[in-house]
C-alpha cells in the first residue's frame, strides 16, 4: 500500500510529488497523457518568478527533472474511479488496482468546447485549442481566435506573429485578460478585435474555409474568410472519476488546506474551485496538499 498517490502530472502534481518525496512518504504519481499538463502547451510564460520568459514545455521539463531527481516514481495510467474503504483509498486504473492511505487530485482541466456547428467535425482540420501545437500550420493565413481571457488574448498575440491576420472574437465590449496582454493585442496591426461578437458556425469540408460571427448589438451576421479557428473559452475540470463535493462547474470544493469533503482525499491546481488558475497558484496548492496529506497520514498511525 502507498502512503500517497498523486493523480495528475502538471505543476500542482509534480510539486506535491517533490514535497511528498522529501517527507519520505511512499508515493507514486499517475499521469494519463503528458507530464506537464496543459501548461506544457503554452508558447511562453512571463509571470512565473525566476523565469522572465520561458516556454511551458521547458518549465515543465524542469519541474519533472526536479521531481525525478528526488526519486519520485511516475507512471502513465488513467484513473477510472476512486473508492473509499475502512483502511484505504482504492484507485481503479488502466494499469490495475492501487491502494493508498491518501490521494491528491491534481488532474487539471481541459479546454471547453463552444458547441457550434462545424466545430467537432473540423477539430484537427483547422479547429484547434492549442496555438503552440497548430499555429505554425497557418503561416501567412487569416485565422479567428475566440475568447477574451488571458489565454485567448495571449494566444492571439502569439498567432499574430505567424498568421497574416487574426480576428479576435469576444462577446463583451472589453477584454478580461491582464492589462499588459490587452495592450499587446489592441496595439497589434495584425489583430482585429470584434467586440460584442459571438461565433455561430465554422464552415468547411476538409478544412476551415470560413467562420460566421454575429454582432450581439446589431444582430448582424458576417462571414469571415479564415482558414483556422482557435477556441479559448474556458476549461472543464477533469474530476468525473472522484466522488467528492464539487461546484456547478464540476470543480472540486476544498478548504484552504486543500482538504475535500472526503477525509484523506486532497485537491490541488486547476481542478480546484479557485479564483486564479496559474502555475504559481498550482505550485502553492501542490505544496500545501502534500504537507496536509503528510499530517493526515501521520495521524492514521
Per-residue model confidence as pLDDT tens digits over 228-257: 999 999 999 999 999 999 999 999 999 999
Q: Which domains does the chain have, with CATH numbers?
A: 2-110+235-300 (3.50.50.60), 113-231 (3.50.50.60)
Nearest partner of 15 among 48, 50, 64, judged by Cα: 64
- Note whether 171 and 197 are within 8 A (CB): yes
Alpha-helix runs per DSSP H in 141-178: 150-160
Per-residue model confidence as pLDDT tens digits over 84-137: 999 999 999 999 999 999 999 999 999 999 999 999 999 999 999 999 889 999
Mean pLDDT of 22-50: 92
CA distance 296 to 301: 9
- Note whether 282 and 11 are within 8 A (CB): yes
Q: Which residues contact 14 (CB under 8 A, 6 or more apart)?
A: 29, 35, 60, 63, 64, 66, 67, 72, 286
The residues annotated as belonging to the active site are 130, 133-134
Amino acid at each position: 500500500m502507498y502512503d500517497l498517490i498523486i493523480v495528475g502530472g502538471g505543476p500542482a502534481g509534480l510539486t506535491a510529488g517533490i514535497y511528498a518525496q522529501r517527507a519520505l512518504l511512499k508515493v507514486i504519481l499517475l499521469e494519463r497523457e503528458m507530464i506537464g499538463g496543459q501548461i506544457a502547451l503554452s508558447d511562453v510564460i512571463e509571470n512565473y518568478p525566476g523565469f522572465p520568459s520561458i516556454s511551458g514545455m521547458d518549465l515543465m521539463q524542469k519541474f519533472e527533472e526536479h521531481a525525478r531527481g528526488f526519486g519520485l516514481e511516475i507512471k502513465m495510467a488513467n484513473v477510472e474511479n476512486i473508492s473509499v474503504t475502512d483502511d484505504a483509498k482504492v484507485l481503479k486504473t488502466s494499469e490495475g488496482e492501487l491502494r493508498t492511505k491518501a490521494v491528491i487530485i491534481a488532474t487539471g482541466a481541459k479546454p471547453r468546447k463552444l458547441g457550434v456547428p462545424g466545430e467537432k467535425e473540423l477539430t484537427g482540420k483547422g479547429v484547434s485549442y492549442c496555438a503552440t501545437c497548430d499555429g505554425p500550420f497557418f503561416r501567412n493565413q487569416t485565422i479567428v481566435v475566440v475568447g477574451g481571457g488571458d489565454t485567448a488574448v495571449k494566444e492571439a498575440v502569439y498567432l499574430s506573429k505567424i498568421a497574416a491576420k487574426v480576428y479576435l472574437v469576444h462577446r463583451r465590449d472589453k477584454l478580461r485578460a491582464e492589462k499588459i496582454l490587452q495592450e499587446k493585442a489592441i496595439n497589434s496591426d495584425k489583430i482585429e478585435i470584434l467586440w460584442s461578437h459571438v461565433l455561430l458556425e465554422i464552415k468547411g469540408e476538409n478544412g476551415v474555409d470560413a467562420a460566421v460571427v454575429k454582432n450581439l448589438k446589431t444582430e448582424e451576421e458576417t462571414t469571415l474568410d479564415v482558414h483556422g479557428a482557435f477556441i479559448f473559452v474556458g476549461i472543464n475540470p477533469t474530476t468525473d472519476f472522484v466522488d467528492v463535493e464539487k461546484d456547478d462547474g464540476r470543480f472540486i470544493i476544498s478548504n484552504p488546506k486543500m482538504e475535500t469533503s472526503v477525509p484523506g482525499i486532497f485537491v490541488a491546481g486547476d481542478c480546484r474551485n479557485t479564483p486564479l488558475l496559474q502555475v504559481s497558484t498550482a505550485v502553492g496548492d501542490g505544496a500545501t496538499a502534500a504537507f496536509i496529506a503528510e499530517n493526515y497520514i501521520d495521524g492514521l498511525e
